[in-house]
Amino acid sequence: MTALRPTEFAAMLAALTRHRGVLGSLVADAAQGIVVDASLQHGVAGDAVAALAASLYRKARLSAGAAGLGAVSFLRLEGELGNICVMGAGDLVLVTIAESRTNVGLLRAEMRRAAAALA
């Protein structure tokens, strides 16, 4: 695993990344898509994940705004081989990259708890 300079998010990110099938987790600036801290397995491009996930999250927020649906709390992109999960936490987003075998329900609950501590 690789890790950036430890921050107050390090322990929480490490705990998420220990989940079965999770390849990495990171905290990013929601507006800019810039990584704040990350815990990633080797080969996972944290910068790209943060930028793409924050961009998709922003689009979801705009469409939710257009429909009067309120704030977006959780977003999941499901691919054939894996998932990207994004949880909003104020001006930050918590992102996890997970294989398709991951129990997303459990991961979502863990992310919700972690995001509550972030906000």
Partner 1 sequence: MSDHARNSVPDQIRRLSDELARDPSSLAFIALGDALRHARHLELALKIAQRGVERHAESAAAHDLIGRVSLDRDDLLRALEAWTTAERLSPGHPGARRGMGYVLFRLGRLDEAAACLAEAARTGDADAAAALARVRALLGVSAHANADVPMIELEESEADHALGPPPANPLDRERARRLFAEALGDGNHTALLLDANGLVVAGAYVTEDGTDVGSEIGGELRGVRDEAERMSRYLELGSWKSVVFETDVATVAMAPMGEEDLLLVASDQSTPLGLVRRVTERCADRARRWLAEVA
CB of 21 to partner 1, least distance (A): 13
Q: How far apart are CA 10 and CA 96, in angstroms?
A: 14
CB of 69 to partner 1, least distance (A): 4
Q: How far apart are CA 112 and CA 88, in angstroms?
A: 9
The CA–CA distances, whole Å, from 106 to 2, 46, 58, 98, 111 equal 24, 22, 24, 12, 9
Contact region with partner 1 (CB under 8 A), list: 5-13, 14-22, 34-42, 61-69: 61-69
> By CB under 8 A, is residue 116 in contact with partner 1?
no
Contact region with partner 1 (CB under 8 A), list: 3-11, 12-20, 34-42, 49-57: 49-57
Q: How far apart are CA 2 and CA 35, in angstroms?
A: 14
Among positions 2, 41, 63, 103, the unique one binding partner 1 when judged by CB under 8 A: 63
